[in-house]
Structure 1
Amino acid sequence: MPSQTDIRLVFRQRLRLARKELQLSQKELGIRTGLDAFVASTRINRYEQGVHEPDMPMIERLAAVLNIPTAYLLTADDRLARMILLFDRLSDSDKDRLLEMLESDSSQS
């Protein structure tokens, strides 16, 4: 089981990566999550540096603004994180088919 330190490090790395992929500044991300413009950049920087840890409602707002599942930010397993991102991009019908396939495969094991 991953340690809290591992999860915190992964959260910081994924937050920064997702922000940069959308080409958002720390300030812009902070403002879009509802932070005051005066503190937005500093707060996001502190999240990315691990100086402060956001609470769950803030993590959910960050994920929503970044258009990624919250679980992606919080799983320490890189393979699972990739699966979460890919699964999130599927249509509902494709998600259902994939789940059926996985459930079928796991019941045969």
Structure 2
Amino acid sequence: MTSRRSSDAGLFGRRLRQARLRAELPQDRLGVLAGLEESSSSARISRYESGIHEPPVRFAEALAKVLGVSAAFFYCADDQLAEVILLYADLSEAKRRLMLESAQKLAA
């Protein structure tokens, strides 16, 4: 299996669902925390996750903040890079610097 998906259809929704489940949040709670009205939050998040709609970038950033990930994660087609983004999100600032230094050494 390659790290890049052959189809990016529904990529945002797949990543959103992954991050939401990782954060152990139900759809309705995520929507409310990101600024949606309670009456429509579950349906809106469901539409985003199913790929019916994709939110504006500003709202994707609000979702990312609630979920503790970078908004880049939602748009990352490469599964390995997406995993790196998740790992990075969980690190302290000091460990983020170490990760960057390690990556720079590997790339040299």
Partner of 1:27: 28
Query: In structure 2, what is the Cα distance between the partners aligned to 1:85 and 1:33?
Result: 19
Query: In structure 2, what is the Cα distance between the partners aligned to 1:23 and 1:100?
Result: 31
TM-score by length of 2: 0.82
Query: In structure 1, what is the Cα distance between the partners aligned to 2:27 and 2:99?
Result: 36
| 3-state SS of 1:30 partner | helix
What amino acid maps onto 1:47 in structure 2? Y
Sequence identity, in percent?
A: 39
Q: CA deviation at 1:90?
A: 2.1
Gaps of 5+ in 2: none
Partner of 1:94: 95
Q: Tell me if 1:42 matches 2:43.
A: yes
Partner of 1:80: 81
What amino acid maps onto 1:100 in structure 2? E
| 3-state SS of 2:24 partner | coil
Partner of 1:63: 64
Provide the alpha-carbon RMSD of the alignment.
2.0
Alignment check: 8 A CA contact 2:12 2:51 kept: no
Q: C-alpha deviations, 1:4-43, integer Å up to 9, x for none?
A: x60x422111211222233322111111111111111111
**Whose RCO is larger (CA < 8 A, sep 6+)?**
2
Structure with greater proportional helix content: 1
Q: Tell me if 1:53 matches 2:28.
A: no
Total equivalences in the alignment: 104
TM-score by length of 1: 0.81
Alignment check: 8 A CA contact 2:64 2:70 kept: yes
Query: In structure 2, what is the Cα distance between the partners aligned to 1:100 and 1:15?
Result: 29
Higher Cα radius of gyration: 1
